[in-house]
Structure 1
Amino acid sequence: MDILEEIQKQFVYFSLKEKKVATYILKKGKEIKNMNITELAKVTETSTSTITRFCKKINCENFVDMKIKISSIYQEENKNHGLNIFDDVYSFYDKVIKNTIKNMNREKIEEVVALIKTAHRIFIYGVGSSGLTAIEMTQRLLRMGLNVSSITDSHMMLINSSVATEKDLVIGISTSGNTQEVVDALRMSKKNHGTIVSITSLSNSAITKTSDISLYVYNSSFVDDQRFVNSQFAIIYLMDVISMMLLADQTLNYKMNKTIEAILKDKEE
């Protein structure tokens, strides 16, 4: 585990000021090379003492030690970065995928796949960009003949979660892990004995504390949130993995092909 992975792993445990430092490093780590501790404190609106404590928490002896470890990660990247916009976008997606794979737990994913197959009903919650991902995941599962609904309105989430039962699977999507509308809905579903699965990028966040199973992906905003890139890319990758595992089931695969045939036939007519 490199130092950037260590920072993301411990992110939820940092104080508010330490999170400012962590966020700056995760987003703009390349700039640390030419900074001293006072300059970093200024751009993060913290203090040198905060940065010193932060260094200790991520197992660095001091600021210089942290800077060396961070700079070494970017040395290879700098050789290829900025050649052209195609390379930059590829580099972004490549980093997100590689780090998401590191965060994946195959056994937990297989457990979630089994729950999807056996659930009486499946509800998928998400707002904003995560809401769009919830809709995409719902469309895929519907094509496999599963009883699934996506809920992206906060008011409807609470209504829906109030009628969840022990036979239902509830999936909450929140990259930050702290989307209040989703967290509240999952808590209500949990109270009604629904099985709760969360998809997020931060362990020990509010959403994971409510879940029976949590699946983790890499937070793409830690790579770049200054440009128009897909913040849901890591979750979409996980969704592809889950979809492929589900389609290994002959019954679900058959139903998927039947829905495709129906759609094609409708277009022909």
Structure 2
Amino acid sequence: MRKNMTALFDIVYHIRSNRDRLSATEQKIADIILDDIAFAAAASIDQLATKASVSIATISRFAKAVGCEDIRDLKLKLAQASAVGTRFLADVPVVEESAFYARICSEVESTLRANLARFVEADFRAGANALNSARLIYVGGMGGGSTMLADEVQYRIARLGLPVTAYHDPVLLRMLAATLTEKDVLVLLSVTGVTPELLEVADIAREYGAQIIAMTAPQSPLAEKANVLLPVMTEETDFIFKPSASRYGVLLAVDILATELALLRKQESKELLRRVKFALDEYRGGDNRLPLGD
């Protein structure tokens, strides 16, 4: 069972949104905290009061003014806020457009090369064999990149003539997992490997004997539940304004798995891909080098 969820309280948001309504001395505390949340979370109350040149009583009033029960509650919420990492809190220098264009490309390339170096051919062959012999294949992914990539798995496998469907709704995934058998395969995608709903879906599917193929972080909770693990390594940078490059590592794993599967059933794949190309060309026209899709 998932642990009880507590109500979200974003202390950084509350301090920023209430700042203009605070007294002048309380605003000094707000500015000190917002300027260095990591310091405010780690500092003693005396240190915080000294840095803001205010009394401890003023800090107590400030805590209540921004929605905390007391100073202790303020400190707890500051510690929670600082846990997201300084890259989401500190100011960052302006990056020239040409520089960040190249930076995005460089991080994509680094992600691809780092993951390719860690991939093990036998793992992908095991995944392809499981898919090839499956009665049916369900694919699950939630959130941002994993939702899109779950659909991508469906698109890659469907054109090879195998019964595959991607789902993203956590309740529906639970229901479907309960219908699986030892003849079925569940492919789960999660860059972090800690999404509670996916972990529960994996447990349900395993209970009924289904095989789990996981594209996720090694040593993650989801990785431990997999029959076949296709590990995807991620390394987030301090430049938070661009989309994560981690999804390219998953996409590489998807392409390799789909190619292994196609080669495993080479003659059948060739004929089915020919049919797909013929049907598309008949519909849209174009030359013989257009891709199998759009």
Measured against the shorter chain, the TM-score band is 0.5 to 0.7
1:216 is matched with: 231
TM-score (norm 2): 0.60
Letter in 2 for 1:98: R
Instruction: Choose from 128, 134, 137 the match for 1:113.
Output: 128
Instruction: Choose from 168, 178, 181 the match for 2:197.
Output: 181
Residue pairs, 1:114-263, within 5 angstroms: 114-128=129-143, 129-201=145-217, 203-222=218-237, 224-248=239-263, 249-263=266-280
Instruction: Choose from 98, 113, 119 the match for 1:98.
Output: 113
Between structures 1 and 2, the one with greater helix share: 1
Letter in 2 for 1:261: F
Say what the alpha-carbon RMSD is for the aligned residues: 2.6
Cα distance in 2 for partners of 1:45, 1:146 equals 53
Cα distance in 2 for partners of 1:263, 1:82 equals 39
Residue pairs, 1:58-69, within 5 angstroms: none
Cα distance in 2 for partners of 1:115, 1:182 equals 20
**Contact 2:107–2:245, Cα closer than 8 Å, also in 1:** no
Instruction: Choose from 59, 70, 86 the match for 2:101.
Output: 86
Letter in 2 for 1:134: A
Letter in 1 for 2:197: E
Cα distance in 2 for partners of 1:132, 1:103 equals 23
Letter in 2 for 1:175: V
Task: Please identify the structure whose Cα radius of gyration is greater.
Answer: 2
Task: Structure 2: state its 5+ residue gaps.
Answer: 1-36, 44-95, 286-294
* Structure 1 pair 178–46 and aligned structure 2 pair: CA distance change class (3 A): farther
Q: Is residue 2:280 matched to residue 1:267?
A: no
Letter in 1 for 2:137: I
Residue pairs, 1:27-38, within 5 angstroms: none
Deviation (angstroms), 1:206? 1.4
Percent identity between the aligned chains?
A: 16
Aligned length: 195
Q: Which has the higher contact order (CA 8 A, sep 6+)?
A: 1
1:20 is matched with: none
Task: Structure 1: state its 5+ residue gaps.
Answer: 1-40, 48-80
Deviation (angstroms), 1:223? 7.2
